[in-house]
Structure 1
């Protein structure tokens, strides 16, 4: 992390902040994709690890969603949002080692 000193104040280099923002957007995007993969894995598991079984369960799920009234659809959306947030939180917890980006300057020193 490079620091630029200007008078009495210290501010981080703008490039470092952009690097951090890019790193965090990558962490969140990949975690979101992993959570969607967990939903696909869930349907594969309840479908007996076959594509036909998974599609039958998805079809059953979709037909019940379409036939539901507005209150039940809202409850479904709340449950789905809660499961999505919980899965993303669990994935981010297990990826906590990747939260802080590596500093290439410090890695060169560590290798000797």
Structure 2
């Protein structure tokens, strides 16, 4: 009987509480996406630091070389490079998101806050 009462209370919750739950889920989901995007950009940064032999001057030289070659290329080659970069970053995002899937599931848990 207690389970039925709890189920009835959950269905008849005030719209304000449901709105608050939606805001909690939205904030958690936004945080999860922001963390995943930042981790993806961190992987790209780590790649350039690795190319620069883990030195700031070497990293800047590699970035300068890349920028000079990118600007000297024609539009078709620039588009091809952009496609490659976005594909690799998208793949990294998907991999990082896959390994963070447990925290994504927990973002949708709205347990707690009920004191009855």
Once the two structures are superposed, the pairs formed by residues 14-93 of structure 1 within 5 Å of their partners are 14-93=19-98
Deviation at 1:43, TM superposition (A): 0.6
Q: Aligned-pair RMSD on alpha carbons?
A: 2.1
Tell whether the 8 Å contact from 1:4 to 1:13 is kept in structure 2 after alignment.
Answer: no
3-state SS in 2 of match to 1:105: coil
CA separation in 1, counterparts of 2:50 and 2:111? 41
For the pair shown, the structure with the greater C-alpha radius of gyration is 2
Offset of residue 76 of structure 1:
0.9
Q: Residues 48 and 59 of structure 2 are in contact (CA less than 8 Å); yes or no, is this contact kept in structure 1?
A: yes
Higher strand share: 1
Sort the Cα spacing of 1:42 and 1:16 in 2 relative to 1 into closer, same or farther, 3 A. same
Separation (CA, whole Å) in 1 of partners of 2:36 and 2:28: 12
Instruction: Show structure 1 runs of 5+ residues with no match.
Output: 7-11, 107-112
Higher relative CO (Cα under 8 Å, sequence separation at least 6) belongs to 2
Query: How many positions carry a matched residue from both structures?
Result: 100
| Residue 5, structure 1, aligned to residue 27, structure 2 | no
Query: Once the two structures are superposed, what CA deviation does each residue of 1:39-77 show, in whole Å capped at 9, x if it has no partner?
Result: 110011111111111111101100011001000011111
Per-residue Cα deviation, 1:57-100 (whole angstroms, up to 9, x for no partner)? 10110001100100001111111110111111111111111012
The 4+ residue runs of structure 1 with deviation greater than 4 A are: none
**TM-score, normalising length from structure 1?**
0.80
